[in-house]
Amino acid sequence: MAFYPLLLNPSRTNIWTEASIADRTPPVPGSRTHPLKSSKSLGNRRFAIAIRWWTAIFLIGLAGTAFAHLGDTESQLVKRYGPPTSVRPGGKFNPYFEKWMDFEREGISIACGIHAGKCVTIEYRRDKGFNSLEFLGFKAVNHAGSGVIVERSATALKFTFKKDYPAIIESSQTGISRMRKKSEALEKGTH
């Protein structure tokens, strides 16, 4: 009810020019803003953009020094993370890999597939997933250009050398058929 008298009172025509209201309303097209106010907002925007860029550079640099890269040797992986949480033989499920080395760092599980002494595929896994800035950081760390295949799921990022990918697929199919034959032999023996 208090709002109606303001609308009906013709003597209060300058209601929108009061200082408290004018500071909260955007300028009308064609009107000029106060020069001091516009320069402050421009300075704030420039500062915010600069902070974002420095944050991105810091996060990419942090990911680069803290996380494994494609092509790292076993000794480089152990030097970077310490002893692995597990080492699994690769030949059982995928004959292409000599072994799988698992590590844990900053809440991220890291699995590296080793072939010829080097990491040819690496998977980063975290329950809450990775945001787009982290994804770009890991992509930069692993030099994910034309020579790397990138797979992204809700909770994992996986990088694999493109030259190794066809052999990995072929070997995994061999491993799966081997496991299928083994399970069929066990089934026939129990029935």
How many domains does the chain divide into? Answer: 1
- What are the tens digits of pLDDT across the range 74-110? 999 998 888 999 998 877 667 889 999 999 988 889 9
Residue 112 lies in a domain: yes
Q: Are 107 and 124 in contact (CB under 8 A)?
A: no
CA atoms within 13 A on the CB side of 52: 7
Domain encompassing residue 79 = 64-182
The pLDDT of residue 56 is 60
The pLDDT of residue 113 is 93
Residue 51 lies in a domain: no
Residue 89 lies in a domain: yes
Residue 7 lies in a domain: no
Residue 105 lies in a domain: yes
Residue 77 lies in a domain: yes
Residue 97 lies in a domain: yes
CA distance 29 to 44: 22
Residue 103 lies in a domain: yes
- pTM value is 0.58
Count other Cβ atoms within 10 Å, centred on residue 44: 10
Q: Which two tokens stand for residue 139?
A: 């992509």
**Residues of the chain predicted below pLDDT 50:** 1, 4, 6, 14, 35-36, 39, 62-67
